[in-house]
Amino acid sequence: MPLTAPSARTRGKKAVDPSGRKLLDEYDKIAGVVAANDGTAGGTIAAFKAAGVGTVPPVTGNTTELACLAAAGRRVTERLCFDYLGLLGASLDGPVTLTGGGARSRYWCQPRADALARPLGLPDNAEAALGMAVLARAGTTTPLGAAARDMVRLRTVVEPRPDHTLRLLESHLKLVDALEERGWLPPAVARHARRSAHL
């Protein structure tokens, strides 16, 4: 991610985004940076030096590492979405079936099952058009649940791996803490996410 070096007047002060929210406390509290590629990694190091940072934190431009981190971030964010639905009162007890292109890859779906700590169904046909067909049929005389059971066929179910779930829960709770500290996550949602992680 690109960083902008502070001017002499702002150096050492808190960085804010246009909304006025604090982004970073101090440049010297950054543990490390994953840049999009080697070129932007070099620019990031230059930005730290221009900002007067004495010890530049570790910087990587490894796109493979970035992809892994982005995937991990997506998994724990997905769990946070489920936490929020639970807080709103939605029932989360039923089966979960994945759709879209990603549902064709068990390698991509396994960590999602791990993060959610629940089995995930992978359908034979994961295209969005099938979902629209189910809705169209349910719009006639067939209840939605019955239409889905009749039309959606699972090719496999991905079970969560408990040891992986425990590791991902640590990342999930770190994300919750960071979002709450920055004021980007309401305290009620953060409390519910922590409770659900310890069930």
CB atoms within 10 A of CB 196: 18
- Whole-number pLDDT of residue 11: 45
CA nearest 122: which of 144, 106, 146, 145?
106
Q: What is the mean pLDDT of residues 92-102?
A: 86
- Whole-number pLDDT of residue 4: 43
pLDDT in tens, 32-67: 776 766 677 778 788 777 777 777 777 776 666 666
Residue 51 backbone dihedrals phi, psi, to 5 degrees: -80, -5
Residue predicted with more confidence, 181 or 72: 181
Q: What is the pTM of this model?
A: 0.63
138/28 Cα distance (integer angstroms): 57
CB atoms within 10 A of CB 193: 25
Residue predicted with more confidence, 50 or 91: 91
Residue predicted with more confidence, 24 or 64: 64
Residue 59 backbone dihedrals phi, psi, to 5 degrees: -130, 130
> Do the strands 59-60 and 96-97 form a parallel or antiparallel pair, or are they unpaired?
unpaired
Which residues have a Cβ under 8 Å from the Cβ of 28 and sit 6 or more positions away?
53, 54, 55
- Whole-number pLDDT of residue 79: 93
Q: Write the secondary structure of 135-150 as one string of H (helix), E (strand) and C (coil).
A: HHHHCCCCCHHHHHHH
Question: Which pLDDT band holds residue 156 (cuts at 50, 70, 90)?
Answer: very high
- Whole-number pLDDT of residue 29: 65
Kind and range of the H or E element at 198?
Answer: none
CB atoms within 10 A of CB 173: 16
- Whole-number pLDDT of residue 9: 41
Question: Which pLDDT band holds residue 195 (cuts at 50, 70, 90)?
Answer: very high
Is residue 99 pLDDT above 70, yes or no?
Answer: yes
Phi-psi region of 123 (alpha: psi -120 to 50; beta: other; left: phi over 0): beta
- Whole-number pLDDT of residue 145: 85
